Amino acid sequence: MDKKLVRWSICILILCGILLGVGAFSLSVGSAGIPFKKIIPLILGGRGTTEYSILFDIRLPRIILGLAVGSALSIAGVILQGMFRNPLVEPYTLGISGGAALGVCLNIVLRLNRIGGILSIPASGFLGAIIVILLVYSLSTRRGILKIQGLLLTGVMISFISSSLIMLIMAVSRTEDLHGIIFWIMGSLEEPNLVLIKVVVLISAMGLFISYLFATELNALALGEEEALHLGINTERTKRLLFILASLLTGCAVSVAGVIGFVGLVVPHFMRMFVGGDHRILLITSALSGGAFLILCDTLARTIISPLELPVGVITGIVGGIIFVYFLSKKQVVLGGKQ
Amino acid sequence: MLEVKDLTCGYESEFVLSRINFRIEKRGLWGIIGPNGSGKTTLLKAMTKILKLRKGEVLFEGKNILKLGFREFAKQVAFVSQSSEIGYNMTIEEFVLLGRIPYRMQFQFLESKHDEEIAEEAMILTDTIRFKNRFIGELSGGERQLAVIARALAQEPRLLLLDEPTAHLDITHQIRVLDLIRRLNRKNGLTVIVVLHDLNLASEYCDKLVLLNNGLIHKVGAPQEVLTYQIIEDVYNTTVVVEKNPISSKPYILVVSEEEKAKVLQ
Amino acid sequence: MKVWFLAVFVFLGVNSSTHAEDNFPQRIISLGPSLTRELYLLGVEDRLVGNTIYCGQPPDAQKKEKVGTVTKLNLEKIMTLKPDLVLTTPLTNHEQVEKLKNLGIRVTTFSAARSFSQICDQFLELGRIVGKEKEAGKIVQKAKLKVSSIQQRIKGLQEPKVLAQIGAKPLWVATKDSFINDFIKLAGGANIGPSGKSGLYSREKVLEQNPDIIIIVTMGIVGEKERKIWRKYKTLNAVKNDRIHIVDSYKVCSPTAVSFVEVLEEIVGLIHVKVE
């Protein structure tokens, strides 16, 4: 398997390179119009100037958050698609984003941020996400067995219910609140609290690490739950832990950055086209490319119609969709073994 | 090696199998036969910890299988199901290596040299080594079945269970699979239990047969004892003629069609 | 229409803490159209270095650097303009306001004003902040005088029932707790809208209350469509006497102390047709 290891290492190195490239690009580009030639001297010696501040206080935090959120969503996507053996599953299918959005909605409308300060919005988003996770989990467990199809259906149902509730709240809310809600839901990588950004980075990194403990299990689950049992995998424990892991990653990402769709769905598929379905390589490559993808989309979102900014979720949808369809038509796509 | 004691189990509230009792010695090659719906697959699932038992127990080498962890069990007992999902598109080698999962250490992500050697051996035994680098999706049904058996062998089991491995296969592959199983049993000392729907194949290849009917054991014994025209008529509700296979002297079931039956009765 | 409405539906009310300063801010960014107009009224427009794309009045404001919309800002743009004061509204994205503060930029938020007196107070506060207290005082004084003279003119006149519609689909009317309520009250009418913050209303309720005048605050065709819809209900007094009026939302929705008076005159004209 040395050849495999070499191939994998090359893939990872290439993606790291792409990630660094995208990060550097994003750092140098923006509506402030700092010319390219000035970037390096600025980084080295420009401390204290406005431009330095723009690079490191405005752009860099967005890049880092983009990496963290993009990889968290991609990892969650890989895990869920592996667990469900369903290529259409993505982190938001389980209703987690609905719960988070509902939590934030209630917070804004009930003016809870007076109490909690600037952290109360992510906190309420996370709380909403957790409640949905618990609800979905308990509704899908019969006699100690977690039914996979049940998870999916319950998640979709809860998504619908939370969307309706959110629309209800929006219909009766004041205009200032309405704007707050809409913009939060549309997703944004602009986060003033650096500690929060660090927390997301930490959780994403830990998520990646923990997911690797289940890489083999995911490979076995791809053969079916019964087959995995025959191979000695404790499928109940695995399903439970994977579900919790994917939900936490998603909940964390959504509470801080809002609903940024498509990343968790498309990035794993895309990487599967290039590196295959073995989760040992799929997890890390999806995390890296998911981060790069989100950073790129965010960069486009804030420069295309400068000085106005588009919501990043819009860009991920359009750009992601176009790229995916293009590659789909070119290469033969193998989803879960079916050609 | 394997003992089934007073086993009763089923799905939801139905009792599919009741009071199953039999014992298989080491190096035995047993076949489980019976009409559709008699509980053959259910029995296999009960023996491999998939189904919960209502009553009774299954003992593997004297130990209740419920006391063995899944991993522990997978290192001793391997199961080849009728049609395995192929998961993501992987090479045959990678597919067979999945059988090494029970032996994986806590933080081990890559297969060890030893794993690769075992997998190689398994592929050689099943004559799938030539497909080593081909993708699982490219293989024919018969070749894939051999690959699944190779994967089961990679688990280094002492007991191999197969659920209708010859279903959907043409005669060439049917014989190849069964010859392989026989070889594994005779030469490599593997204990085998195989569910077969084809009575003649069961007769030819198995040392002992367990005939199930409606969730109960109808007869246990050597093919000559089990495959009599009377028993077959009782269980399968079909008139047959049982002869001796001219080459192996094992029972051979001859089908009697409606037309022929009518001619005879005239 | 509602979106446009949202963009300009902002008022002044001092709400955040402002640091005590010796020098008055010289590089100001305004994130609300009414704030922009007020800066022009105070004569400090040359200190205005940036505003939103919706700050179109007076025409000179369009020439200033644009830093985003009323709700979403471009922080980089703001930083390059090196402001020493950024004026925000409740509609401004809270996280971005927080970010500006983290970057060390002075931010002052003006909350939504709900009455004419609040508008005046906030204008005075703005004057204080930019060092034009006297000018602000004079303007407010003039406006207040004009309003009381209007009050005198209409004293004793009958108070018709007025409904001010500010949204369609869903139907949204001015509540008793809004500055539009002030327009109606000071113009000598009785606002039949609900109390409280939510203006969601049903047409049934309107029919029940039977207003004498309906004022539709909107832009363009939507107003006409709404008027047609109201005209179907022939039992309404407003329909019987053909007193459904359309008023331009831009003027109404972001009043300064000065424009408030202008609009008030107009509304008086609509409510008391015979008053000279």
**B1-76+157-224, what's its fold?**
Rossmann fold (3.40.50)
Mean pLDDT of C189-198: 88
Pairing of strands B53-60, B63-64: antiparallel
Cβ-based contacts of A171 with chain C (< 8 Å)? 170, 200
d(CA A112, CA A106): 8
pLDDT higher than 50, residue A334: no
pLDDT higher than 80, residue A60: yes
pLDDT higher than 90, residue A71: yes
In this complex, do B89 and A229 lie within 8 Å of one another by their Cβ atoms? no
- Provide the 3-class DSSP secondary structure of residue A336: coil
Q: What is the pLDDT of residue B252?
A: 92
pLDDT higher than 70, residue B107: yes
Alpha helix ranges (H) inside chain C: 2-8, 33-41, 75-80, 94-102, 116-130, 133-154, 179-186, 203-209, 221-231, 237-240, 249-253, 257-271
Q: Determine the CATH number of domain C156-271.
A: 3.40.50.1980
Report whether C108 contacts C88 (CB < 8 A).
Answer: yes
pLDDT higher than 70, residue B41: yes
**Chains touching chain C at 3 or more Cβ pairs under 8 angstroms?**
A
**Chains touching chain B at 3 or more Cβ pairs under 8 angstroms?**
A
Report whether B33 contacts B202 (CB < 8 A).
Answer: yes
d(CA A232, CA C167): 63
pLDDT higher than 80, residue A21: yes
d(CA C57, CA C33): 7
- Check residue B165 and report its DSSP letter: T
Q: What is the pLDDT of residue B1?
A: 77
Nearest CA-CA partner of B231 in B205, B207, B254, B213: B213
The 10s digit of each residue's pLDDT in A280-297 is: 999 999 999 999 999 999
Per-domain residue ranges of chain B: 1-76+157-224, 92-155
Split at pLDDT 50, 70, 90, the class of C20 is very low
Q: Any residues with CB less than 8 A from the CB of A198 and at least 6 apart, and which?
A: none
Mean pLDDT of A148-157: 86
Query: Where is A218: in which H helix or E strand?
Result: helix A215-221
Report whether A195 contacts A269 (CB < 8 A).
Answer: no
In this complex, do C94 and A118 lie within 8 Å of one another by their Cβ atoms? yes
Nearest to B116 among A1, A5, A334 (CB): A1
Report whether A167 contacts A205 (CB < 8 A).
Answer: no
pLDDT higher than 60, residue B73: yes
Alpha helix ranges (H) inside A85-174: 96-109, 113-116, 120-139, 148-172
Q: What is the pLDDT of residue C124?
A: 93
Residue B89: CB atoms within 10 A of its CB come to 22
Is B155 in CB contact (< 8 Å) with chain A?
yes
d(CA A329, CA C92): 43
pLDDT higher than 80, residue B228: yes
Q: What is the pLDDT of residue A331?
A: 62
In this complex, do A339 and B137 lie within 8 Å of one another by their Cβ atoms? yes
Alpha carbon distances (Å) from C76 to A273, A286, C73: 38, 30, 9
Q: What is the pLDDT of residue C15?
A: 41
Which two structure tokens, joined as six digits, stand for B193? 């239990």
ipTM of this predicted complex?
Answer: 0.89
Q: What is the pLDDT of residue C219?
A: 67
- Provide the 3-class DSSP secondary structure of residue B111: coil
Question: Given 1.10.3470.10, 3.60.15.10, 3.30.70.2190, 3.30.499.10, which CATH number is that of A2-330?
Answer: 1.10.3470.10
pLDDT higher than 60, residue C10: no
Per-domain residue ranges of chain A: 2-330
Q: CA of A257: which chain C residue's CA is closest?
A: C95
Residue C122: CB atoms within 10 A of its CB come to 25
Q: Any residues with CB less than 8 A from the CB of C119 and at least 6 apart, and which?
A: C11, C12, C113, C179, C255, C256, C257, C260
- Provide the 3-class DSSP secondary structure of residue C123: helix
Best A231, A269, A274, A335 residue to mutate vs chain B (most B CBs within 10 Å): A231
In this complex, do B87 and A336 lie within 8 Å of one another by their Cβ atoms? yes
Cβ-based contacts of A278 with chain B (< 8 Å)? 88, 90, 94
Query: Bridge-partner residues for C247, per DSSP?
Result: C217
CA distance C98 to chain A (A): 6
Nearest to B102 among A212, A219, A232 (CB): A232
- Provide the 3-class DSSP secondary structure of residue A214: coil
d(CA A333, CA B128): 26
In this complex, do A58 and C93 lie within 8 Å of one another by their Cβ atoms? no
Q: Any residues with CB less than 8 A from the CB of C164 and at least 6 apart, and which?
A: C173, C174, C180, C181, C183, C184, C191, C193, C214, C215, C217
d(CA A242, CA A151): 13
Which of A1-5, A78-82, A134-138 is the least confident region? A1-5
d(CA B180, CA B194): 12
Report whether B93 contacts B133 (CB < 8 A).
Answer: yes
The residues on C that touch A, with CB distances below 8 Å, are: 2, 5-6, 9, 53, 66-69, 71-72, 74-77, 79-80, 82, 90-91, 93-96, 98-99, 101-103, 112, 170, 197-198, 200
> Which residue has better confidence, B35 or B85?
B35
Report whether B25 contacts B76 (CB < 8 A).
Answer: no
- Provide the 3-class DSSP secondary structure of residue A244: helix
Residue A202: CB atoms within 10 A of its CB come to 12
Query: Bridge-partner residues for B9, per DSSP?
Result: B17, B53
Decide: residue A7, CB within 10 A, 0-12 exposed, 13-18 middle, 19+ buried: middle
Report whether A145 contacts A239 (CB < 8 A).
Answer: no
Q: What is the pLDDT of residue C145?
A: 93
pLDDT higher than 50, residue A338: no
Nearest to A192 among C77, C95, C198 (CB): C95
In this complex, do A224 and B71 lie within 8 Å of one another by their Cβ atoms? no
Q: CA torsion, points A129, A134, A136, A138, in degrees to nearest 10?
A: 180
- Tell how far CA B202 is from the center of its chain: 11
CA distance C139 to chain A (A): 29
Angle formed by the axes of helices A96-109 and A120-139, to 10°? 140
Could you say which architecture CATH assigns to the domain C2-143?
Answer: 3-Layer(aba) Sandwich (3.40)
Cβ-based contacts of A223 with chain B (< 8 Å)? 84-87, 98
In this complex, do A337 and B71 lie within 8 Å of one another by their Cβ atoms? no
Cβ-based contacts of C96 with chain A (< 8 Å)? 190, 192
Nearest CA-CA partner of A98 in A286, A258, A264: A258
Residue A38: CB atoms within 10 A of its CB come to 12
Q: Do chain A and chain C touch with ≥3 beta carbon pairs under 8 Å?
A: yes
Amino acid making up residue A288 = L
Mean pLDDT of C117-146: 92
Q: What percent of chain B has pLDDT over 90?
A: 48
Q: CA of A184: which chain C residue's CA is closest?
A: C93
Could you tell me the end-to-end alpha-carbon distance of chain C, in angstroms, rounded to an integer? 33
pLDDT higher than 70, residue A314: yes
Report whether B231 contacts B218 (CB < 8 A).
Answer: yes
Mean of all residue pLDDT scores within chain A: 88
Nearest CA-CA partner of C96 in A47, A98, A184, A24: A184
Which two structure tokens, joined as six digits, stand for B78? 């391997």
Q: What percent of chain B has pLDDT over 70?
A: 99
Which of A137-141, B13-17, C51-55, C162-166 is the least confident region? B13-17
Most confident range (mean pLDDT) of B167-171, B224-228, C250-254 is B224-228
The 10s digit of each residue's pLDDT in B118-161 is: 999 999 999 999 989 999 988 888 889 999 999 999 999 999 99
* Peptide bond between residue B35 and the one before it cis (omega within 30 degrees of 0): no
pLDDT higher than 80, residue A322: yes
pLDDT higher than 80, residue B262: yes
